[in-house]
A and B are shown apart, each in its own frame.
Chain A
């Protein structure tokens, strides 16, 4: 029985249900997606689904396999419709059975979220008004972005939370702009690494389910990202708030001169997807700091510090130690590099560098100079350490610091002990935890200029908006769409989300913040607004 499949015929929920029944299972959870009569303010009459089946089925199967591995469920199945569907018809059916209900619920939720996010499916809506438009599904990052349309097509599909092409998912677009797939593109081939006894099928499966967050897409980050994507790491997050500068290119060779001025996180994501369409790449165009990194890091297994300053280095270290996740840190100075792998319970960056260092001692590439291959070597070592961690291979780099002098070609391993104050317990050197800033804010929308710092986004459903319009709102995007990954138009800036009671808007704001967008939620929603005479 296929785990994930498409059907061009109406789905029979009862028949599908029967395929996951099992006497060993005490819990069954199901999700059904139906064709709705409204989308983003426009009445819909019927719709069509279209998928790039070759790739979509692979990605769908992978999602099911991940859900089964992650939640330990017994059966999981997803069937998605293609072709023409009428209102009320079943568009997608997911069923999961497991010994207990908790796993079944969690796996079912995981599958629908990931399918909407990762599987390339398009929807053509036919509106009551007689026209129609293609709506790209949540994202098509899994689809190969072909070189024939390096900008139009590739960016058209680059929907992973970070639009840089100024349209809203909700806006119907002409089919011509939907983009180009490349049928016949060969599948990634891991045979050269799989043949290693330490990798094999089991190791490759571990790489595929690994989630790695790379902080910094510069000299160190470039080789890290390339090798991790090449190795088939399943999910790669890229955090970088900088745009590409011409002076970067001598050492950041995954980019092109034509890319100068664009955000590096988005460029890296494009490059990695072209390198390996199987990888789920998630770009975050932002600096990693004490408020932005913790919500991102929770969704990843390993952090890779490719930053170029000590403040970020401490932040990455502290977040990793606190969350009990491994971190792979490197830094360079001219011809030298330092590599440190922080494993839970082992010496961390603060055991080696207890005090934040003053600027001036710590040189950067601009002041001190650097030859391109130096971060290339250290970044390659970081990528290797990440792969070793995923494969369960021991790393001597976790006992201290490896000093690499690429002029003399000497390396030196220095053992470090955990700081005296935290032997056997939690690290005592970490910066104190700051309470997570509340995303909720109170203001009176009727006061002129009260929300001037924000673009107000009405996240209610269209019928609610019709019943009680909110003139101050500049954008209308339902909360569920934002939570599911819909992006804001480019250059929107900080947003204030508003719904009826402040609950949906808070959830959507949390989802946006997790993707690196500056978002707040109006506490109490419209119901909490003062009454004006």
Chain B
């Protein structure tokens, strides 16, 4: 198990009901973590609609997570 700092933006923040949380997980990749959280919070967007950033940098969904990582899930926003 690793512990990661998860942040949600926009629609995800609304659906998760929080903008950040500490998550203990056995997920190895960003995608596995998202699917886990998606089930827990009933998040509607699929990974194909989102971007993930790990430790301040946009990352791939198959990138590995390490203990203490900061993981940010970002949906596109278009309001103006």
Q: When A and B form their complex, what is the total count of cross-chain residue pairs whose Cβ atoms lie within 8 Å?
A: 103
Question: Distance (Å) between the CB of A312 and the closest chain B CB?
Answer: 9
Q: CB distance B79 to A368 under 8 Å?
A: yes
Residue of chain A at shortest CB distance from B80: A308
Interface segment, B21-29, B30-38, B68-76?
B68-76
Q: CB within 8 Å of A: which of B11-26?
A: 11, 13-14, 19
Across-interface contacts of A361 in B (CB, < 8 A):
11, 44-45, 49, 75-76
Task: Check B58–A331 contact: CB distance below 8 A.
Answer: no
Asked if B53 CB lies within 8 Å of chain A CBs, one says yes
Once the chains bind, are A416 and B79 in contact (CB under 8 Å)?
no
Contact A334 B10 (CB under 8 A): yes
Whole-angstrom CA separation of A417 from B58 in the bound complex: 8
Chain A residue with Cβ nearest B13: A336
Name the B residues within 8 Å of A408 (CB-CB). Answer: 19
Cβ < 8 Å to B, chain A residues 157-214? none
* A357-B49 contact, Cβ under 8 Å, with A336-B9, A405-B9, A413-B56: yes
- Are A365 and B58 in contact, with the CB atoms below 8 A? no
CB contact between A218 and one of B19, B48, B57, B80 (< 8 Å): that residue = B80
A23 at the interface (CB under 8 A from B): no
Q: Are A333 and B49 in contact (CB under 8 A)?
A: no
Provide the residues of chain A in CB contact with B48, threshold 8 Å.
355
Chain B residues positioned under 8 Å from A232 (CB to CB): none
Within A329-361, the residues touching B (CB, 8 Å) are 330-334, 336-338, 352-353, 355, 357-358, 361
**A375 in complex: contacting residue of B56, B57, B58, B80, CB < 8 Å:** B80
Q: Is the CB of B51 within 8 A of A353?
A: yes
Is A309 on the interface with B (CB-CB < 8 A)? yes
Is B77 in contact with chain A by the CB < 8 A criterion? yes
Interface residues on A, range: 35 or more
The answer to whether B58 touches A403 (Cβ under 8 A) is no
Residue ID in chain A nearest B10 by CB atoms: A333
Is A493 an interface residue, CB under 8 A from the partner? Answer: no
- Do the beta carbons of A363 and B58 come within 8 Å of each other? no
A216 to B56, CA, bound (A): 30
Cβ of B1 within 8 Å of any chain A Cβ, yes or no, is no
Residue of B nearest to A364 (CB): B79
Instruction: Give the docked Cα–Cα distance between A405 and B58 (Å).
Output: 18
A307-B80, A332-B79, A364-B79 known; A415+B45 contact, CB < 8 A: no
Contact B56 A414 (CB under 8 A): yes
- Of B19, B53, B57, B80, which one neighbours A306 at CB under 8 angstroms? B80
Q: Chain A: interface secondary structure?
A: mixed
Residue A443 interfacial (CB < 8 Å): no
List chain B residues, Cβ under 8 A from A370. Answer: 79
| B9, B48, B78 pick with most chain A CB within 10 angstroms | B78
Residue of A with least CB distance to B50 = A361
Residues from chain A with Cβ under 8 Å of B10 in the complex: 333-334, 336, 363
The 0/1 profile, CB within 8 Å of A marked 1, for residues 47-66 of chain B is 01101010011100000000
A221's closest neighbor in chain B, by CB?
A: B80
User: Which residue on B lies nearest to A399, using beta carbons?
Assistant: B57
Of all chain B residues, which has the CB nearest A351?
B58
A307 to B80, CA, bound (A): 6
A375 and B79 contacting across the interface, CB-CB below 8 Å: yes
Main secondary structure on chain B at its contact with chain A? mixed
Which of B51, B57, B77 is within 8 Å of A415, CB to CB? B57
| Chain B residues in 8 Å Cβ range of A401 | 58, 74
Q: Contacts of A365 on B, CB cut-off 8 Å?
A: 79-80
Is A412 among interface residues, defined by CB-CB distance under 8 A?
Answer: yes
> Is the pair A313, B78 in contact by a Cβ cutoff of 8 Å?
yes
Task: Determine whether A144 belongs to the interface, using a CB cutoff of 8 Å to chain B.
Answer: no
A462 located at the interface, meaning its Cβ lies under 8 Å from any Cβ of chain B in the complex: no
Contact B9 A415 (CB under 8 A): no
B79 and A363 contacting across the interface, CB-CB below 8 Å: yes
Distance (whole angstroms) from the CB of A115 to the closest CB of chain B: 36
Q: Which residues of B contact A364 (CB under 8 A)?
A: 78-79
A401 to B57, CA, bound (A): 10
Which B residues are CB-close (under 8 A) to A357? 49, 76, 78
Contact B79 A219 (CB under 8 A): yes
Bound complex: CA of A403 vs CA of B76, how far in Å?
Answer: 11
B58 touches A330 (CB 8 A): no
- Cβ of A310 under 8 Å from chain B: yes
Task: Please name the residue on chain B nearest to A374 by beta carbon.
Answer: B79
Residue of A nearest to B14 (CB): A334
Pairwise interchain contact A308-B49, C-beta atoms closer than 8 A: no
B-to-A contact residues, CB < 8 Å: 7, 9-11, 13-14, 19, 44-45, 48-49, 51, 53, 56-58, 72, 74-80
A336-B10, A336-B77, A414-B74 known; 6 other A-B pairs, CB under 8 Å?
A310-B78, A333-B75, A361-B49, A405-B9, A415-B56, A416-B57
List 27 interface pairs A-B (beta carbons < 8 Å), by A numbering: A216-B80, A219-B79, A219-B80, A220-B80, A221-B80, A307-B78, A307-B80, A313-B78, A331-B77, A331-B78, A332-B79, A333-B9, A333-B11, A336-B77, A338-B77, A352-B51, A352-B58, A357-B78, A361-B11, A365-B79, A375-B79, A400-B57, A400-B58, A403-B72, A414-B74, A416-B58, A417-B58
